[in-house]
Amino acid sequence: MQKEALKKLLDVAADRIPADLVIKNCKVVDVYRSVITENQDIAISDGLIAGVGSYQGKREIDAQGRFASPGFIDTHIHIESSYVPPEEIGRLLVPHGATTIIADPHEIVNVCGLDGMDYMLKAAEATKLDIKYMLPSCVPATPFEHAGAVIDAQMMREPIKNSRILGLGEFMNYPGVVFADDEVLNKLLVAKNEGKLIDGHSPGLEGSELNAYAAAGIHTDHECSTVEEMLDRISRGLYVLLREGSACHNLRTLLKAVTPANSRRCLLCSDDRQPETILKLGHLDNHLRICVEEGIDPIAAIQMASLNAAECFRLYDRGAIAPGLRADIVLLDDLNGFCVRRVFIQGEEIAKDGTYLPEVRRFDLSAVRGSFHVRDFRAEKLRLRLKSSHVNVIDIVPGGVVTGKGVADVILDEQGEFVCQPGQDIVKIAVVERHQNTGNVALGLLRGYGIRSGAVALSIAHDSHNIIVVGTNDADMAFAVEQLIVQNGGIILVKDGQIINSMPMVVGGIMSDRTGEWVSEKLTEIHADAYEQLGISRDVEPVMTLCFMSLAVIPELKLTDMGLFDVTKFAFIPLEA
């Protein structure tokens, strides 16, 4: 800050000169004292709050007695999982009160390497939403799959210095931390030596192993699914990020453990949130509604969405409505429905009545356009020969990304090949490596998806984003893979050798270059066709469910391009049980 700007700020604060903008007649949510102060004006100078009290401004806006809340901060989100780029996520989220998000771009970095990180940083400059980033820590997420890049500790040393990168993203290789793997220690020290944060990811970890994880300097965890896990981590000094996304819904469960004594260690996050969810339910405004429905004091809920988040991520210039802080302000009709009326970021009105006001500009996509390097793929690679009809199967658990490890008896033909039986709900799943020309095609069996005909193929398969395909017959599965490559990635549904619906995703094969509304409408069509034409079970989300079937850091059984992986054992296992 220049001396002239500081003098102006103080002159406005002391009421010696008019403010640039005054938001008058507010009920200010004071997150420091957990009170509401009525009939207040908020004076703004050069994007900063000069004072709260009684002020005059060059420009004045009447809040008409609405609640003025600090801007909302989403503490962990993967922009890529919304299927739209940073410019578009800003347009979608700001009208719901978001003024800052902490994004982990490990999806695009797994596909495009540090070119993907660079693209996300530059594209974020085209939105008014303040996007802070974490540097992906696990590319690939595990050594048990092939990604588009390998980012080691040495490659992290320069990017971590960027002021817009707050630290290392979720450290999914928690066994590597617990057992002090040498390269893992190198990565942790990259962050520690720069004074940066380290995000956590430790589902199911407990006891001495959790102690080791916390001792490594892990700062947060968003993977808690039980009250016990949440309290365990708070006791060890971690902040807990209460997640409510499109795939994972942990918020209501975890809120049962939030008390006035521990609420300041609790934050709100989305992790993964699709446009359809944003357009129908909202963003952190939806989280806040859920908090109040579950009996959380409204101001405590707002603290979790603002002050707690700012303190956790050392964003000391925001998180409250107080002199000297960024003028990131949300005007709300009430503290029950949290209807967002107006949103100000650094004193500029960015959204009003659900509409994002600035023009949306798009950054050049040429560095991250989807590319597919698939060697020698053919239908024959989908033939599944088994030594036994007693097999391990991936069991879908509706409502989340955790899978079960099941066993079943299946039918084999005379050559020992798996034969799909319509009444059994066990189908073939394959992962086709698409980055390194390895030619890898791994096969497994999936139960609970419900598909009765055709095939579904995606190039969105966390976290390495190889091609994942499920189907009732090899011909449709092979055709789906081939046509997915032709359309440069995304989603495709096939039946009887015909494409029945598709959504191209030209940004790394994982994001669309279209609007959130278009993506939402297209996904709605795809879901309808998946249920009605392919017969997929209505208990599962047909796209998001498949996206996580290769994520080898979430229990229990997953399939990577290298084979069937038991996450609890951290080892490959045979298909035969």
Q: What's the pLDDT tens digit per position in 191-214? A: 999 999 999 999 889 999 999 999
pLDDT digits (tens, 9 = 90+) for 313-339: 999 999 999 999 999 999 999 999 999
Beta bridge partners of 37: 28
Q: Evaluate the omega torsion of the peptide bond into residue 422 and state whether it is cis, within 30 degrees of 0.
A: no
What is the value of pTM for the model shown?
0.93
Q: Is 517 exposed, middle or buried (0-12, 13-18, 19+ CB in 10 A)?
A: middle
Residue 143: pLDDT band (50, 70, 90) is confident
Whether residue 99 lies inside any domain: the answer is yes
pLDDT digits (tens, 9 = 90+) for 419-468: 999 889 999 999 999 999 999 999 999 999 999 999 999 999 998 999 99
Whether residue 353 lies inside any domain: the answer is no
Please report, rounded to a whole number, the percentage of residues in the chain having pLDDT higher than 70: 100
Q: Given this model, what pLDDT does residue 165 score?
A: 98
Residue 382: pLDDT band (50, 70, 90) is very high
Whether residue 398 lies inside any domain: the answer is yes
Q: Which of 256, 307, 382, 365 is nearest to 100 (CA)?
A: 307
Looking at residue 340, its amino acid is V
Residue 515: pLDDT band (50, 70, 90) is very high
Q: Given this model, what pLDDT does residue 175 score?
A: 87
Alpha-carbon distance 110 to 87, whole Å? 20
In the block, residue with structure tokens 């588009």: 148
Whether residue 281 lies inside any domain: the answer is yes
Has residue 370 got a pLDDT over 80?
Answer: no
* Number of other residues whose CB lies within 10 A of the CB of residue 189: 12
Is the same domain home to 395 and 307? no
Residue 142: pLDDT band (50, 70, 90) is confident
| Cβ proximity of 503 and 460 under 8 Å | no
Is the same domain home to 309 and 375? no
CATH number, residue 171: 3.20.20.140
Is the same domain home to 384 and 296? no
Alpha-carbon distance 577 to 573, whole Å? 9
In the block, residue with structure tokens 């902040």: 239
Alpha-carbon distance 113 to 140, whole Å? 10
Is the same domain home to 411 and 295? no
Q: Which residue, of 259, 288, 319, is where some domain finishes? A: 319
Range of the domain at 525: 369-572
3-state secondary structure of 375: coil
466: which 2 tokens? 């190889």
Residue 248: pLDDT band (50, 70, 90) is confident
Residue 290: pLDDT band (50, 70, 90) is very high
Is the same domain home to 295 and 441? no
| Cβ proximity of 102 and 120 under 8 Å | no
Alpha-carbon distance 224 to 363, whole Å? 36
Whether residue 343 lies inside any domain: the answer is no
Is the same domain home to 514 and 449? yes
Q: Is 227 exposed, middle or buried (0-12, 13-18, 19+ CB in 10 A)?
A: middle
Is the same domain home to 293 and 394? no
In the block, residue with structure tokens 């579904």: 456
Is the same domain home to 374 and 312? no
3-state secondary structure of 478: helix
Whether residue 38 lies inside any domain: the answer is no
pLDDT digits (tens, 9 = 90+) for 163-175: 999 999 999 889 8
Has residue 400 got a pLDDT over 80?
Answer: no
For residues 475 and 402, the model is more confident at 475
Q: Which of 202, 206, 277 is nearest to 240 (CA)?
A: 202
3-state secondary structure of 479: helix
Whether residue 83 lies inside any domain: the answer is yes
Strands of 557-560's sheet in order across: 557-560, 563-566, 571-572
In the block, residue with structure tokens 């959504």: 503
Q: Which residue, of 280, 297, 319, is where some domain finishes? A: 319
Is the same domain home to 377 and 315? no
Q: Which residue, of 286, 302, 319, is where some domain finishes? A: 319
Mean pLDDT of the 299-319 span: 98
281: which 2 tokens? 């339910």
Least confident of 240-244, 327-331, 361-365, 506-510: 361-365
Backbone phi, psi, residue 185, to 5°:
-60, -40
344: which 2 tokens? 């100000």
Is the same domain home to 468 and 390? yes
User: HEC states along 170-201?
Assistant: EECCHHHHHCCCHHHHHHHHHHHHCCCEEEEC
Alpha-carbon distance 162 to 122, whole Å? 12
Please report, rounded to a whole number, the percentage of residues in the chain having pLDDT higher than 90: 92
Distances (CA, A) of 459 to 267, 393, 429: 31, 22, 14
Is the same domain home to 381 and 459? yes
Q: Which of 222, 149, 157 is nearest to 196 (CA)?
A: 157
Residue 398: pLDDT band (50, 70, 90) is confident
Element (H, E) at 255: helix 251-255
Residue 64: pLDDT band (50, 70, 90) is very high
Is the same domain home to 191 and 265? yes
What is the number of structural domains in the chain? Answer: 2
Q: Given this model, what pLDDT does residue 265 score?
A: 98
Q: Given this model, what pLDDT does residue 402 score?
A: 84
Alpha-carbon distance 42 to 254, whole Å? 35
Residues contacting residue 366 through CB under 8 Å, at least 6 positions apart? none
Alpha-carbon distance 154 to 408, whole Å? 45
403: which 2 tokens? 């899978």
Residue 291: pLDDT band (50, 70, 90) is very high
Has residue 399 got a pLDDT over 80?
Answer: no
Q: Evaluate the omega torsion of the peptide bond into residue 62 and state whether it is cis, within 30 degrees of 0.
A: no
Mean pLDDT of the 353-379 span: 92
Looking at residue 269, its amino acid is C
Distances (CA, A) of 74 to 97, 310, 414: 10, 10, 55
Alpha-carbon distance 482 to 272, whole Å? 28
114: which 2 tokens? 């540090």
Backbone phi, psi, residue 174, to 5°:
-70, -30
| Cβ proximity of 325 and 340 under 8 Å | no
| Cβ proximity of 474 and 382 under 8 Å | yes
Element (H, E) at 406: strand 403-409
In the block, residue with structure tokens 């609640």: 67
Element (H, E) at 538: none
Whether residue 352 lies inside any domain: the answer is no
Alpha-carbon distance 141 to 148, whole Å? 11
- Classify the C-alpha dihedral 467-470-474-477 as positive or negative: negative
